[in-house]
Structure 1
Amino acid sequence: MLSTAPAIDAAISKATADPYHNLPRAVFLAATSNDASLYEGKGGWARLPAEPVSNDVLEKEGEPITADSIFELYSATKLVAAIAVLQLVEQGKMRLEDDASTYVPELKEAKLFKGFGEDDNLILEHNATPITIGMLLTHTAGSSLAPARRCTLADNITSGFRYFMFNPDVVKIAQKLSVHPLPNAEGAIREWVTKMPLMFKPGEHMIYGPNIDWATLAVEAVSGKPLEQYFKEHIFESVPPLGIHDMSFMPNPSQIPMAFADEEDPSKPLAIRPNTPLSKTQHFGGAGLKGSPRSYLKILRMLLRGGELDGARILKKETVDLMFEDHLATNQQRQELRVFGKDMLDPATPRATEPSRDLTYGIGGALTGKDLATGRGAGALTWSGMANTYWVVDREKDVAFVVWTNVIPFACQLIHDLWFDVETELYKARMISTAPSIDALLTSATSDPYRGLPRAVVLAASSTDPVVYSGKAGYAYRPPAPASKEVLDKEGVPATDESVFEIFSCTKLVSVIACLQLVEQGKLRLEDDARDYVPELKETKLFTAFDEKGDLVFEDNSSPITIKSLLIHTAGFKYDFVDTRFPKIAEKLGIPPAPYYKGAVREWLTKTPLLDKPGEHWGYGPNIDWTSLIVESMSGLPLNEYFQKNIFAPLGIHDMSFMPNPQQITMAYANAADPSKPHTIGPNPPLSETQHFGGAGLKGSPRSYLKILRLLLRGGELDGVRLLKKETVDFMFQDQLETDQQRQDLRTWCKENVCPSTRRAAEMSKDMTQGLAGVLTGKDLPTGRGAGAMAWSGLANTHWCIDREKDVAFVVWTNLLPWGDQRFFDLYYDVETELYKGLKE
């Protein structure tokens, strides 16, 4: 069952709590290609007294809604009709490019409406443009709805056959021609479609309307069967069958009554009365089917599975693929669809404005243009019926679902609020398809926590989904000496995504965010000379050589040390493991060879010299530690307090701090000389608890750190909290290095320090450059990581990555020293590969 099922249940219950003033009923069903019942939820009543009654009376006289209740589908019928047309195309009995008048002679007589004359007489002319089957399926034939904003012909109405509910001209035309203004009214369909004129030249525009009704006349002509019979024999009860027995155009005594909301005063109770009278004898593909959500989901799942379900192949896979392609021929048509979608959806709920952006049209429904805030994937096929019977087939995310209620009018506030919420919760619970493969990798890598990895936590998220993968294996704590599995299970504490890790240089990303916040506030600029903010930097010397006695030779530094150079490691400060000269320099100066040790950070910073002239080379080192002094100076807050107040607390992070944490996991130390020997389990390196600097020292959980990554993936905002402007985040992901020499320095260091760990990672150092807070991938990698992704790590193998091109952020953490352990890098490479494979699938 979905992890978010309780949240969806609650949303449905809330939406149907008062069936007379909210929704009378709601059914939400979801399935995947391999799971026929991913989620099933329902609330409210199939039947209820016409006048508002108490809950006690409702319980006694009402009939609860179910997934098998019979709904009026209205335009959800169109998808079934499109499937029928495509079946005949597969059989070679018609083609999408065929002139539909070949099969429906009445179309040869179609007129083109040009306007009203002086006496309101219709000005019509013969249509000389072929109306193809494809046009009828994509609402570009000239027989269509006007935009929902009820504009006039002179106000950019470009539609064909228009339903009267959207344009008063259609009523006037229908009156002049003595036909019913609503095409699906009892006994009026054939008369309507054969008498009403085209409202624009076929192929010029895309406006919604009864085009598919014409297409199903072609289905009847080619198949020799009434539409009801064709649907039953070839789709619903095909051989082998889909097993649908409750879907039909015919009246069904079990059908639920319609609920009508008062458009003028939504606070009034819903009116419960019989459905709009649709034709019982003339059946057309635009509307009219009645059936259950459970049966309709079978049709959606058949498409999700490429045209086959439970041994019944209804369509070829290549035909289904064709349905999910953009079939609009011009940008004008796409814009008209988007205006229609915006006008129809936006008045219902501001949160639904996004689905109309970048829409295009496939066959059977509209195609989502890009990933939506709810989590729905780009290219998902979707549509609805007039009484709010929504459906979605999302092949990218491998999910199909329906949200049905049978309330009129279409797009009422109540159903759109519910639709948005349940769709969001559905996608929140969906994880990548390769999750089992990643789980297996983690289990294998930690199977011997004394010689393999002691633990591994992998978390991944997208901009719209806080968790697309979550996996963990191994132990946060375990006995120091190798123990049996029985003892481990008894005495060990499993690692979780809330275990507290030492994150070392992952601290740097948080420091950069803090610095950029002050830049946005105008308190400093990246091009400023840092010596103006930190006086100690004015005394910093430039190391030039060892003299013949081995003594240190310095000269004064006359070059500016910009804040930006500190953030991108071109200021000239380097770590001991980056520059082999430094351990000897540190010995001569009487300081530790590396910063961050207990009580030594500030002393280390103020005594260590520059090893390169500022701006000449890239060299990884304690540069960002200097910027944290600037943050403290300009904010008036100690660094830990600044982080808590301006970054962690707003994001809901409560377990990240420089301070000691009794829940912190124990460090594992591998034997670098003989990796086959058991790890040493010991205390963490003695990092300063009182002097906090931006280069290392934070402790926290993978779950919390992923929030920071996702904040950046979303352009500086998360869950309504904005910490950075979007343009600031965009700037972080730009190449910040200024010379080819700097880029070569970076790539050489990464090649020598990453590639020895695993030859499969050699590609990762090619074409790298430096952003703000991490290195940027130069081109797409074999793992699937996209060009421009930002990544870095902490000393104890706490890696992170933000890939904006592929819309994913992830962490792979273990807390095993030394950095670059072969076992960890093997896991890292394989996990990243499977992660991207799953995202692609």
Structure 2
Amino acid sequence: MKRVVGPSLFVIALCAASAAWAQALPRADPAKVGVSAERLERIGQAFQKEIDAGKLPGAVMMVARDGQLVYAKTLGHQDKDAGKAMEEGSIFRIYSMTKPLVSVAAMILYEEGRIELTDPVSKFLPEFDNLQVSKATLDPFGKVTYATEPVARKPTVQDLLRHTAGLAYGEITQNAVVKEGYAKAGLYKPADRDYDSRSMSPEEQVKAIAQVPLVHQPGTRWEYSLASDILGRVVEKAAGMRLSEFLEQRVFQPLKMNDSGFSVAQADLPRLAEPLKTDPATGTPNKLIDVSAVPANDSGGAGAVSTAADYLRFTQMLLNGGELDGARILSPTTIRLMASDHLGERIQPVLSPGELLLGTPGYSFGLGFSVRGQDGIAGVSGSAGEYMWAGYAGTFFWVDPEEDLTAVLMTQAPGPSRPYYRKLFKQLVYQSVVETHAN
């Protein structure tokens, strides 16, 4: 995606790229790693029905076990209005699947001693030194009133990684004062598009967020938020370079994630997947971020693009304990720290990570993604110790160390049906496993 080619080389470059797309990981006969090829076909059959019914534009799905690709399927359209078929190398807006990328970037700096998890955010961003909290109170007549109070303690880097910094999303929070403050600051654009504040410079974004009261006292509640955007600003201060440059040098290049970044070059725009014009469930127009130009800030929470093959290489690195094909990104001990429960009993979620992502309880949160505490509780297949996250436009991944399994779903389908497709993909992948690694 980052290459620049002249017209005479364009076809050659695309052919070379097509070969690269097919090499996400070494391919294996599913039976050799305990997976049924016949059962894997159920995945494509189920999703093809949804595409034929006009509920999805198209999808790319990949599944790997024991470090080998056992399933790669492209279905439907990359751009239905243009009549363009989906390709394995189609590029997707991954929205919140950017969050694990910036979390890994932060943990690289953690391993180098340039960040500590207990560092206050204000160490890197002085604007976060004197924050206020918006406290909601219910009066005797049932009316909610709001007052501000000073923070009991400053939010930390760990709070940013686990969404306990007291920040929020204007699109989600029920605190009217915070929602209005984010809207006035340009962090929330209900009339335009969701999760897009990339027109601000990094400095403008930090100042705008810091001027709005927090929605909770830091370290007391889990609420999904703009924390990963602020984490990206911390990475930039600690690394001394733009977030996109740091990720390119320390993650994308070593892992050969050649089509991942924060914008799509003009030559690669024909590979960009598009949603249906309107959401089939609601009739609401689908408005996704414009990734055709370099943004003013690299949104660590929602701004990246990638392919299924690229992201599978990233998740396989996590599953391998921080290494892939000789490129060591993180230590296994750091991956274990990230994939551990960082909420415990002390920090209660407003809405649990599993309920937000999949519509089911059973998941807590680590440093950058949700984590599963036990095999049961959640109303979907999986294993204790697995971790995952997803994106607003329909993308989804998970990593299951116990079964040595990782999978990626890429589509561009924002809307209320996202949890259904995440669960559908997940249960159909697990039913294809006929030889378990579990003890």
TM-score (norm 1): 0.43
SS at match of 1:509: helix
Match of residue 78 from structure 2 = 476
Pick the aligned partner of 1:508 from 74, 99, 107: 99
Q: 1:772 — aligned with what?
A: 367
- Compute the displacement of 1:589 (Å): 5.7
Larger Rg over CA atoms: 1
Contact 1:567–1:773 (CA<8 Å) still a contact in 2? yes
1:592 paired residue number: 188
Whole-angstrom distance in 1 between the partners of 2:238 and 2:124: 8
- Would you say 1:668 and 2:276 are equivalent positions? yes
Report the CA distance between 1:599 and its aligned residue: 1.6
What residue is the counterpart of 2:261 in the other structure? 657
2:22 maps to which residue? none
Contact 1:527–1:562 under 8 Å retained in 2: yes
Q: Does 1:461 align with 2:69?
A: no
Shift of 1:529: 1.4
- In structure 1, the residue matched to 2:173 is 579
Q: CA deviation at 1:586?
A: 3.2
Deviations 1:33-57 (A, max 9, x none): xxxxxxxxxxxxxxxxxxxxxxxxx
CA distance in 2, matches of 1:831, 1:432: 15
Alignment partners' CA distance in 2, 1:597 and 1:557: 25
Return closer, same or farther for 1:669/1:536 CA change in 2, 3 Å cut-off. Answer: farther
One of 38, 45, 57 as aligned partner of 1:440: 45
Task: Write the distance in 2 (CA, Å) between the matches of 1:460 and 1:589.
Answer: 41
Alignment CA distance shift 1:770-1:443 (3 Å): same
Aligned pairs for 1:691-730 within 5 A: 691-730=297-336
Quick one: which of 79, 85, 104 aligns to 1:494?
A: 85
The answer to whether structure 1 residue 787 and structure 2 residue 384 are counterparts is yes
Q: Which whole-Å CA distance do the structure 2 matches of 1:494 and 1:612 have between them?
A: 46
Secondary structure, counterpart of 1:802 in structure 2: strand
Within 1, Cα distance between the matches of 2:154 and 2:384?
32
CA RMSD for the aligned pairs? 3.1
Q: Which amino acid in the other structure matches residue 308 of structure 2?
A: P
8 Å Cα contact 1:660-1:689 kept in structure 2:
no
1:455-492 CA-partner distances (Å, limit 9, x unpaired): 12211112421x1211121111122xxxxxxxxxxx52
2:395 paired residue number: 798
Conservation of the 8 A alpha-carbon contact between 2:186 and 2:197 = no
Q: 2: CA distance between counterparts of 1:599 and 1:469?
A: 38
User: How many residues of Structure 1 are paired with residues of Structure 2 in the alignment?
Assistant: 390
2:354–2:364 contact (8 Å) kept in structure 1: no
1:537 paired residue among 128, 137, 140: 128
Q: Following the alignment from structure 1 to structure 2, what is the Cα–Cα distance between the partners of residues 753 and 718? A: 28
TM-fit CA distance, 1:544: 2.4
Report the CA distance shift for 1:595/1:492 in structure 2 as closer, same or farther (over 3 A).
closer
| Contact kept? 1:669, 1:817, Cα under 8 Å | no
TM-score with structure 2 setting the length: 0.80
Matching of residues 321-360 of structure 1 within 5 Å: none
Once the two structures are superposed, residues 677-717 of structure 1 have per-residue CA deviations (whole angstroms, 9 ceiling, x without a partner) of: 6x85x663357712113111001111101110000000100
* Structure 1 partner of 2:288: 684
Deviation at 1:788, TM superposition (A): 1.5
Aligned equivalents of 1:435, 1:547: Cα separation in 2: 52
**TM superposition shift of 1:555:** 2.9
Residues 653 and 614 from structure 1, CA distance in 2 versus in 1: closer, same or farther, beyond 3 angstroms? Answer: same
- Aligned to 1:769, the other structure's residue is in SS state strand
Name the aligned partner's letter for residue 779 of structure 1. Answer: Q
**What CA distance in whole angstroms lies between the structure 1 residues aligned with 2:395 and 2:333?**
28
Which of residues 562, 566, 569 in structure 1 aligns to 2:160?
566
The one of 204, 220, 231 aligned to 1:627: 231
Partners of 1:533 and 1:498 lie apart in 2 by 38
**Contact kept in structure 1, 2:129 and 2:154, CA below 8 Å:** no
Alignment of 1:12-161 (within 5 A): none
The answer to whether the Cα contact below 8 Å between 1:595 and 1:605 also exists between their aligned partners in 2 is: no
Residues 280-321 of structure 1: CA distance to partner in whole angstroms, max 9, x if unpaired? xxxxxxxxxxxxxxxxxxxxxxxxxxxxxxxxxxxxxxxxxx
Alpha-carbon spacing, 1:832–1:636, altered in 2? closer, same or farther (3 Å): same
For 1:807 and 1:596, the matched residues in 2 are separated by 35
Give percent identity, aligned residues only: 24
SS at 1:446 equivalent = helix
Q: In 1, are the aligned partners of 2:187 and 2:196 still within 8 Å (CA)?
A: no
Per-residue CA deviation, residues 163-186 of structure 1 (Å, 9 max, x unaligned), is: xxxxxxxxxxxxxxxxxxxxxxxx
1:175-216 per-residue CA deviation (whole Å, 9 max, x = no partner) reads: xxxxxxxxxxxxxxxxxxxxxxxxxxxxxxxxxxxxxxxxxx
